[in-house]
Amino acid sequence: MANETALSFLRQGSRAWNEWRRHGKEIGGLDLAGVDLSGADLREFNFELANLTNANLSAADLTQAKLAKSVLRNSNFRMADLSEADFSNATLAGADLSGAILHGTDFEGARLTNAIFAGTILGTAIFRGANLDGADLRAAVLFGADFRRASISGAKGLEPNLEIAIDSNISEDKVADILQALASYYRACGGVGFDLRVETAQQDKGMVAGA
């Protein structure tokens, strides 16, 4: 349960909070388990190493927040703005990130087993070396995310065959870039290969990319 001192500084804004964390006694083990911060403005807040298990952060703004090595098991991030937030080496097992904004969000080395990303645009998020085993990726937009060295065993919503439509004005070099990115993604998933059909308005191109 979050202590009253911590909640008092949270209400004072990021500057007061971060200053307190820099000099406070609890910087290495702040307990905010179960705290309700839904809809809160938490931009640039430092939650590194904090325990936010079962916290409600739905619709909160955590832009550029620092959550490296924090514990966020089963926390609720539905519809939260996590743009450029740092979750590196954090524990988010079972966390719900459905509909969250993940522009430039860093999950490198994070533990995301059974986390929920259903319907989420992963875009430019970084998952290098992360563990997403059993994660729910159904209806998630994965293209553009960095999954190098990530583990995605048993993740829901991954299909071995893809069919995508590409604008007829796209260059051949760009098509090659797309194929390479998809091949890298499926290597991260542990796949041995997949069939990819690329269609344009001008012509159909059957292509196979080896993973």
**What is the Cα 115 distance to its own chain's centre?**
9
pTM for this entry: 0.74
Q: Let me know: does 128 contact 148? Beta carbons within 8 Å.
A: yes
pLDDT at 26: 52
| Burial bucket for residue 23 (CB in 10 Å: 0-12, 13-18, 19+) | exposed
pLDDT value of position 179: 59
Buried b (16+ CB within 10 A) or exposed e, 134-152: bbbbeebebeebbbeebbb
Mean of pLDDT over the chain: 81
- Residue ranges of the chain assigned to CATH 2.160.20.80: 1-158
State the amino acid at position 71 in one-letter form. Answer: V
* Residues β-bridged to residue 36: 56
Helix (H, G, I), strand (E, B) or coil at 78: coil
User: In this model, does residue 93 exceed pLDDT 70?
Assistant: yes
Q: Mean per-residue pLDDT for 64-85?
A: 97
Q: In terms of C-beta density within 10 A (0-12 exposed, 13-18 middle, 19 or more buried), how is residue 118 classed?
A: middle
Q: Render pLDDT for 111-132 as a digit per residue (tens, 0 to 9).
A: 999 999 998 999 899 999 999 9
Structural fold of domain 1-158: Pectate Lyase C-like (2.160.20)
